Structure 1
């Protein structure tokens, strides 16, 4: 990673996920849990930048990524991890590594959709519509009415696009 990327989380995230993509596209596509959890940990600050609307998502995401990082000391790859949970018949149980992996995947999906929506709404400085659309697409189907309502109210406290980019130490060129 170039020194110019220091303090630029979006570029660090991009580099980490390009490395994951190279692993997935390699002749041995088994993804190491440590590499995956490290890349996912780089995404955590994005939730923090979104304010109160995504505070619960941030806390949940960080806890699940931390679990995967701890699991990496005894489990080599994501495939081995899922296979172990299948053998133990605990895939759907709260706290299982596989269920935590699903929650992390949803967090990554939300961030992906959010940035797709931000790019699609070029020229609009508000994050309310992009964040609402990403939440509605990824998390809302899994949340009850009370959580959906709380998130909806929190959307009014989102930073502007310009403020988000400033918090991320970006100038906007990374979004093109």
Structure 2
């Protein structure tokens, strides 16, 4: 996948999701289909892989949770139905529930969005500052001391920006455009998932 313009494929998949969400009339809940959603989420996995050891925990956790949503998409059509099913069986917060996994996947999407925002706005070749800020903002509040310490140590093994772009088969100009496209679309997707949780009074801080 890395050789197939990962960023472009990612950005386009999320753009399609954002368009579906934005087409929904005001006041109505968009019934985003699980198949394209889980597919778009799976396209983010190679990016975690390219970041190396610092985000190994995120890659493993994210991939497992996305795989669960892919499985769920074989029998459940849209995200709201999936969540309502978990609410009915009272398993929303149980480990392994689709809804709990969705919340974790959403954080992965958000982390990459924040990482791209910091990469776009930063100068230089180091990813340590953008990656540290993204981790602190999105993941750190939910992680124990041991994981936070391991991530901090792993930050010293991050690739440089040039190495990351090389792995993703991108040059600086095209990467910036695709990162910007992803940020805009992922923003709409993250907000949508948050609304699904908040409208059902499930909260998003757990």
The answer to whether TM tops 0.5 is: yes
Matched with 1:23 is 20
Structure 1 position 89, deviation (Å): 0.8
> Partner residue of 2:95?
94
> What per-residue deviation string (whole Å, max 9, x for no partner) do you get for residues 61-104 of structure 1?
00000000000011000000010011111111110000000000
Q: Which runs of 5+ in 2 are unaligned?
A: 178-206
Aligned residue for 1:52?
53
SS of the residue corresponding to residue 31 of structure 2 reads coil
Shift of 1:120: 1.1
Instruction: Note the residue ranges of structure 1 that are not aligned, 5 or more in a row.
Output: 1-5
Residue 172 of structure 1 and its aligned partner are, at CA, apart by 1.4
Which portions of structure 1, spanning 4 or more consecutive aligned residues, are displaced by more than 4 angstroms?
Answer: none
**Which position in structure 2 is the counterpart of 1:147?**
147
CA shift at 1:25, angstroms?
1.5
Alignment of 1:62-73 (within 5 A): 62-73=63-74
Counterpart Cα distance in 2 of 1:172 and 1:17: 21
For the residues of structure 1 that align with 2:83 and 2:172, how far apart are their CA atoms?
38
Say how many residue pairs are matched: 170
The two structures have a TM-score, normalised by structure 2, of 0.80
User: Residues of 2 paired with 1:90 and 1:17: CA distance?
Assistant: 28
Deviation at 1:22, TM superposition (A): 1.3
2:169 is matched with 169
SS of match in other structure, 1:103: helix
The secondary structure found in structure 2 opposite 1:50 is helix
Tell me the distance in 2 between the aligned counterparts of 1:112 and 1:23. 19
